[in-house]
């Protein structure tokens, strides 16, 4: 291996690699510092609320909620404690189902992408269940797991797992073979190649999968809470629909959207810290 390094340095390959290697301080394509989008966020937020308000005012349906009515319902839910109780119940279910799904999906995706036998054993099942909506499995989930918390979390877990496993698999499959071959030439074993080359190169794909899995988890929690849930945002919205309490339904939608947005931003922040070497457009 020493002779190989000496030959590479002799022809200037090692020096060229060091010169061409992207600096963490210049990881953004386009040059310059990334500008904050706060004012654009505020503009689109105000525009969205204005369109909603105008649409509710000109609607012939008296059930169309206006922003003041939604705010009043929100304050009422905070005052009596029901909003926070339902919110916390949904957050717990989403976090447990999402984390379990990602923790299982990442190793499964690595097995499918790195080993042919892993792909042969797992990919048919993943592809089969990927086309079946998790909500369609609710009746069978109730039969096998009952109507307790386990059934609700399993439905969320399944949605999270199926969203993340394929992204991880694709990340492993698209690792540049030149990097793997170069590591082999320098004497690296399979374990070292996997940890030092494959895992870092797959991280961007994994984070895309986790963000999609997070969205799938929140999208599924509402339906999972239809399984005899005492509390939860989905349960709250279902009860409000029975009494035509549309402002409370909108409160539930807003809470789900805000919580999902905040959790997604946290994942994005973690991604930027772990993949600072990656060049992206500003």
Q: What one-character-per-residue DSSP string does 67-95 give? A: HHHHHHHHHHHHHHSHHHHHHHHHHHHHH
Query: Considering only the top CATH level, what class is 76-281?
Result: mainly alpha
Asked if 141 and 155 touch (Cβ cutoff 8 Å), the reply is yes
Beta-ladder partners of 28:
280
Q: Rounded to an integer, what distance in angstroms lies between the CA atom of residue 272 and that of residue 262? A: 15
- Locus of tokens 């895309």: 208
Asked if 233 and 87 touch (Cβ cutoff 8 Å), the reply is yes
Asked if 207 and 171 touch (Cβ cutoff 8 Å), the reply is no
pLDDT of residue 278: 67
Question: Residues 6 or more apart from 33 whose CB is under 8 A from it?
Answer: none
This prediction's pTM: 0.80
Composition of the chain by helix, strand, coil, percent to 5? 80, 0, 20
* Residue 61 DSSP SS3: coil
What are the boundaries of each domain within the chain?
76-281
**Two structure tokens written together for 12:** 């200037």
**Two structure tokens written together for 57:** 């005012």
Provide long-range contacts, Cβ within 8 A and 24+ apart, for 125-133: 126/162, 126/165, 126/166, 126/169, 129/158, 129/162, 130/162, 130/166
pLDDT of residue 16: 39
Average pLDDT of adjacent 10-residue blocks, the chain of 282 residues: 43 40 46 68 90 87 88 92 92 94 93 88 88 83 86 91 91 82 80 82 90 91 80 88 90 93 92 76 60
pLDDT of residue 248: 93
Q: Rounded to an integer, what distance in angstroms lies between the CA atom of residue 32 and that of residue 42? A: 24
**Two structure tokens written together for 13:** 């390959």
Phi, psi for residue 11 in degrees, rounded to 5: -95, 0
Q: Rounded to an integer, what distance in angstroms lies between the CA atom of residue 227 and that of residue 190? A: 46
Q: Rounded to an integer, what distance in angstroms lies between the CA atom of residue 232 and that of residue 156? A: 14
**Two structure tokens written together for 165:** 């496993």
Q: How many CB atoms lie within 10 A of CB 22?
A: 12
């Amino acid at each position: 291996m020493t002779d190989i390094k000496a030959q590479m340095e002799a022809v200037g390959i090692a020096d060229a690699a060091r010169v061409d290697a992207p600096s963490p301080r210049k990881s953004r394509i386009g040059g310059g510092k990334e500008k904050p989008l706060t004012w654009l966020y505020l503009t689109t937020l105000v525009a969205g609320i204005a369109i909603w308000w105008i649409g509710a005012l000109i609607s012939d349906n008296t059930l169309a909620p206006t922003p003041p009515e939604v705010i009043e319902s929100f304050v009422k839910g905070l005052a009596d404690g029901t909003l926070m109780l339902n919110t916390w119940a949904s957050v717990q279910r989403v976090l447990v189902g999402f984390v379990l799904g990602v923790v299982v999906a990442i190793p499964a995706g690595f097995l499918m992408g790195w080993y042919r036998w892993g792909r042969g054993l797992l990919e048919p099942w993943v592809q089969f269940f990927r086309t079946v909506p998790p909500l369609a499995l609710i009746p069978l989930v109730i039969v096998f797991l009952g109507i307790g918390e386990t059934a609700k979390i399993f439905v969320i877990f399944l949605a999270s797992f199926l969203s993340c496993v394929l992204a991880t698999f694709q990340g492993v499959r698209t690792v540049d073979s030149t990097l793997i071959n170069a590591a082999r030439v320098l004497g690296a074993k399979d374990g070292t190649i996997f940890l030092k080359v494959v895992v870092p190169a797959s991280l961007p794909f994994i984070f895309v999968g986790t963000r999609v899995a997070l969205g799938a988890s929140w999208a599924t929690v509402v339906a999972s809470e239809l399984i005899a849930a005492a509390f939860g945002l989905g349960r709250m919205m279902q009860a409000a629909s029975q009494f035509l309490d549309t402002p409370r339904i909108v409160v539930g939608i807003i809470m789900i959207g805000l919580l999902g947005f905040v959790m997604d931003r946290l994942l994005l922040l973690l991604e930027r810290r772990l993949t600072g070497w990656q060049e992206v457009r500003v």
